[in-house]
Amino acid sequence: MPRSRKKVSIGRELASARRSLRALEQSLARLAAQVRDINRSNVTRPAGKPRRKLKLMPARLRALRLHGRYLGYMRQLKSRAKAEVRALRAKKRVRAAIVRAHKLATG
């Protein structure tokens, strides 16, 4: 025997549908505004002026990579350990400081 369902007013159902559609419309409007902002920020450069490609020498590239590793380990350390690694860097240069910072950071 089928269950009897509660009677729901058509007016209430229409009001609920309107609220849902209004919320959907507002969400789409916000999304469209965000897409417009993204398009504005991605404006391409004029075709007449190509951007200069930065050329790094291999030695400079290695130095930047070392510096990045050093900073990555230093970010993880407490201030006392950072001071120790800085002193080591002043005495024995970056590679020794990276080794010590790695040991201090990983335990």
pLDDT of residue 53: 85
26-29 contacts, C-beta under 8 A, 24 or more apart: none
Looking at residue 23, what is its pLDDT?
Answer: 96
Pairwise CA distance, residues 46 & 8, whole Å: 61
What is the pLDDT, as a whole number, of residue 2?
A: 58
Which residue type is seen at 22? R
| Residues of the chain scoring pLDDT < 70 | 1-5, 43-47
